[in-house]
């Protein structure tokens, strides 16, 4: 049906240009809001009526006559209706819809993919401090980032996955201090370990039980190994540097386990500390000073970020000589640009919203050729977890937060990925553990996966070679449920394009639920393994194509497509 749509769009563009020269760009189809109104809708008549000073309905009638005279519309369209002030509703021949079955079976796992475009995109996600295991907020980032990477790949981008480790600054000092106290035998509640939330000093401690685990292994002089480092503890409680390196390596290993449980791999782990040791931070600051975009005030160095749309100027270097956290971010994004990534997407929590303007301001002030609006940001809210009807409290510093691995162990990798992608990133989301393990139609991932498994059971019962269905006679696919299912299949490529452009992986979950619903309706309406061989093969071809698109869509989400449930 992709070829059918392209033929019809070309005919529409030609007709527009013939009737009203220079208007071919208005050629576009939409999906009618009400399915009964037709298969495609065109609003070109209403768009052109005002500039051409014509009645939109009369213009639509003129365009209708011209379209019905074209070979493409004569071949693929059964009727064109004019509605309201000038809507053009197009009804396709059954044969036009049937074409999508052949296209899916021919393309297989590549159905919906765009050609390679020769451009690179870097997606940075799950960026975390190595101060604890990954929590469910990081899980939402992981699901979003991985799915977005898959989406970009479908549209021909060369994708680079990057994990940025905030391994420098106050958080690491806090981790070191907390581990050292535990190694010396102190614990939360002791006089040297303030826990009063009204006391600012209490912020300098991590209270989780995992800190004691790190301290115990440090005292045992254990060796820990992560993807990017290996370190053996000295066991000396006064050796702060050894404690720091061991604790970071220990938690890097823990985070690796979280990522492995989520079946997630990165192309690169980029360390914040490297921005300092390589001199990138200092070079960036000097560039901003040399460009005249900074000033000294109250013993601090400020960036004139208001010159670039920020609501106020920002401190770059504090009175004590340390840099504020957005400065290494600017240096990091200059490095991304210099590595050839003209498109960059950062996935972060909504609490990072305030950093967007200052980072972009710093990049513009650096004047290294980076365009305005670089990088893109996808911001997400945190996740509430409900289990047994009660909320599981998340408090990282108190040590009672839900980790990503907890959520996976309670449910499954598939459920966690699908659920965390089932809403827009910036909307609040409650993860219902009980729903995620329910085997019923209320569980969206079960509902979609069951549709795929249901088709596989039909194909297994048939026992034939699916590849032979590519040449099946599809003329028997004329029932309303079959027609609706084929139309839904045909929407998949455009959905991928729109989801990528909108950086909206949740569109894929919505689509898959709709596709599963279409299939379940079709399965209930028509028996597939009938005696009539031609009808059976046509119906088998349709459900095989449906299974392929379900598989493809689930793969974009990083979710499996089981053959049996």
Q: What does the pLDDT average to over 181-185? A: 94
> CATH number for the domain including 375?
3.40.50.620
CB 474 within 8 A of CB 102: yes
Tell me whether residue 408 is in a domain. no
Tokens of 73: 């519309």
| Polymer length of the chain | 565
pLDDT score recorded for residue 204: 61
pLDDT score recorded for residue 109: 97
Q: How many domains does the chain contain in total?
A: 3
Chosen domain end from 56, 77, 92: 92
Query: What digits encode the pLDDT tens for the residues 494-532?
Result: 999 999 999 999 999 999 999 999 999 999 999 999 999
- Give 1's contacts (C-beta < 8 A, 6+ positions apart): 96, 97, 99, 100, 103, 486, 489, 490
Tell me whether residue 326 is in a domain. yes
For residue 549, pLDDT over 80 is answered with yes
Tell me whether residue 297 is in a domain. yes
Give the range of the structural domain holding residue 350, as residue numbers without chain letter: 278-380
Helix (H) or strand (E) holding 376: strand 376-380
Tell me whether residue 299 is in a domain. yes
Between 205 and 397, the more confident residue is 205
Tell me whether residue 24 is in a domain. yes
Q: Sign of torsion, CA 80 84 87 91?
A: negative
pLDDT level of residue 397 (50, 70, 90 thresholds): very low
Selection from 537, 561, 166, 82 nearest residue 349 by Cα: 166
pLDDT score recorded for residue 195: 55
pLDDT score recorded for residue 354: 85
Q: What does the pLDDT average to over 237-243? A: 96
Tell me whether residue 546 is in a domain. yes
283 and 360 in a single domain? The answer is yes
Q: How far apart (Å, rounded) are the C-alpha atoms in residues 537 and 272? A: 58
Lowest mean pLDDT among 154-168, 188-202, 504-518: 188-202
For residue 196, pLDDT over 60 is answered with no
> CATH number for the domain including 456?
1.10.730.10
For residue 551, pLDDT over 80 is answered with yes
pLDDT score recorded for residue 396: 45
pLDDT score recorded for residue 360: 97
Residue 230: strand, helix, or coil: strand
Tell me whether residue 432 is in a domain. no
Q: How far apart (Å, rounded) are the C-alpha atoms in residues 303 and 312? A: 9
**Which DSSP string do the residues of 140-155 spell out, in sequence order?**
HHHHHHHHHHHHHHHT
Query: What digits encode the pLDDT tens for the residues 116-159?
Result: 999 999 999 998 878 888 888 899 999 999 999 999 999 999 99
Query: What digits encode the pLDDT tens for the residues 278-330?
Result: 999 999 999 999 999 999 999 999 999 999 999 999 999 999 999 998 999 99
**Residue entry with tokens 């106020």:** 312
10 and 84 in a single domain? The answer is yes
373 and 457 in a single domain? The answer is no
pLDDT score recorded for residue 398: 39
Chosen domain end from 363, 380, 397: 380
pLDDT score recorded for residue 400: 59
Neighbours of 247 (CB within 10 A): 28
547 and 470 in a single domain? The answer is yes
Q: What are phi and psi of 300, to 5 degrees?
A: -120, 160
> CATH number for the domain including 46?
3.30.1360.70
For residue 78, pLDDT over 60 is answered with yes
Q: How far apart (Å, rounded) are the C-alpha atoms in residues 194 and 174? A: 13
Q: How far apart (Å, rounded) are the C-alpha atoms in residues 444 and 446? A: 5
For residue 101, pLDDT over 80 is answered with yes
Q: What does the pLDDT average to over 372-397? A: 85
553 and 448 in a single domain? The answer is yes
pLDDT level of residue 395 (50, 70, 90 thresholds): very low
Chosen domain end from 50, 66, 92: 92
Tell me whether residue 123 is in a domain. no
pLDDT score recorded for residue 487: 93
Q: What percent of the chain has pLDDT over 90?
A: 79
Q: How far apart (Å, rounded) are the C-alpha atoms in residues 238 and 215? A: 12
- Give 93's contacts (C-beta < 8 A, 6+ positions apart): 75, 76, 77, 78
The CA–CA distances, whole Å, from 304 to 283, 321, 322 equal 18, 18, 18
């Amino acid at each position: 049906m992709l070829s059918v749509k392209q033929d019809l769009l070309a005919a529409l563009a030609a007709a527009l240009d013939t009737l009203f020269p220079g208007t071919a760009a208005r050629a576009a189809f939409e999906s009618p809001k009400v399915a009964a109104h037709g298969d495609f809708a065109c609003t070109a008549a209403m768009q052109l009526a005002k500039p051409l000073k014509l009645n939109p309905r009369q213009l639509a009638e003129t365009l209708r006559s011209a379209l019905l005279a074209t070979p493409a519309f004569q071949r693929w369209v059964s009727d064109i209706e004019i509605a309201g002030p000038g809507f053009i509703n197009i009804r396709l021949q059954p044969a036009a819809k049937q074409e999508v079955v052949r296209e899916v079976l021919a393309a297989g796992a590549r159905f919906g993919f765009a050609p390679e475009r020769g451009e690179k995109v870097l997606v940075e996600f799950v960026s975390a401090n190595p101060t604890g295991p990954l929590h469910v907020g990081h899980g939402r980032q992981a699901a979003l980032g991985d799915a977005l990477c898959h989406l970009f790949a479908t549209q021909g981008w060369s994708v680079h996955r990057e994990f940025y480790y905030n391994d420098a600054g106050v958080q690491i000092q806090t981790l070191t201090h907390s581990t050292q106290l535990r190694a010396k035998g102190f614990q939360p509640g002791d006089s040297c370990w303030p826990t009063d939330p009204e006391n600012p000093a209490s912020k300098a401690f991590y209270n989780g039980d995992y800190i004691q685990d790190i301290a115990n292994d440090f005292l045992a002089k254990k060796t820990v190994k992560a993807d990017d480092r290996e370190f053996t503890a000295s066991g000396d409680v006064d050796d702060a540097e050894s404690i720091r390196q061991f604790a970071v390596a220990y938690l890097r290993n823990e985070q690796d386990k979280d990522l492995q449980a989520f079946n997630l791999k990165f192309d690169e782990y980029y360390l914040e500390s490297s921005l300092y040791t390589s001199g990138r931070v200092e070079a960036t600051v000097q560039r901003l000073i040399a460009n005249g975009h900074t000033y000294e005030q109250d013993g601090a160095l400020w960036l004139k970020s208001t010159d670039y749309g920020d609501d106020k100027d920002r401190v770059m270097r504090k009175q004590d000589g340390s840099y504020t956290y957005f400065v290494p971010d600017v240096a990091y994004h200059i490095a991304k640009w210099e590595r050839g990534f003209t498109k960059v997407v950062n996935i972060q929590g909504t609490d990072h919203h305030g950093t967007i303007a200052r980072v972009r301001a710093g990049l513009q002030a650096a004047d290294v050729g980076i365009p305005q609006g670089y990088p893109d940001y996808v911001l997400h809210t945190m996740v509430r977890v409900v289990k047994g009807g009660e909320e599981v409290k998340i408090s990282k510093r108190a040590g009672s937060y839900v980790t990503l691995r907890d959520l996976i162990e309670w449910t499954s990798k598939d459920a966690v990925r699908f659920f965390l992608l089932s809403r827009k990133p910036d909307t609040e989301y409650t993860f219902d553990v009980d729903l995620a393990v329910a085997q019923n139609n209320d569980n969206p991932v079960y509902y979609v996966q069951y549709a795929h498994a249901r088709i596989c059971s039909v194909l297994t019962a048939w026992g034939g070679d699916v590849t032979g269905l590519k040449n099946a006679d599809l003329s028997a696919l004329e029932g309303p449920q079959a027609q609706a299912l084929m139309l839904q299949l045909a929407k998949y490529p455009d959905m991928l394009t729109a989801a990528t452009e909108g950086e909206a992986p949740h569109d894929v979950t919505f689509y898959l639920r709709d596709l599963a619903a279409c299939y379940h309706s079709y399965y209930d309406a028509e028996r597939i393994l009938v005696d009539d061989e031609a009808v059976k093969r046509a119906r088998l071809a349709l459900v095989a194509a449906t299974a392929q698109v379900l598989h493809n869509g689930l793969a974009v989400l990083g979710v499996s497509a089981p053959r049996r449930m």
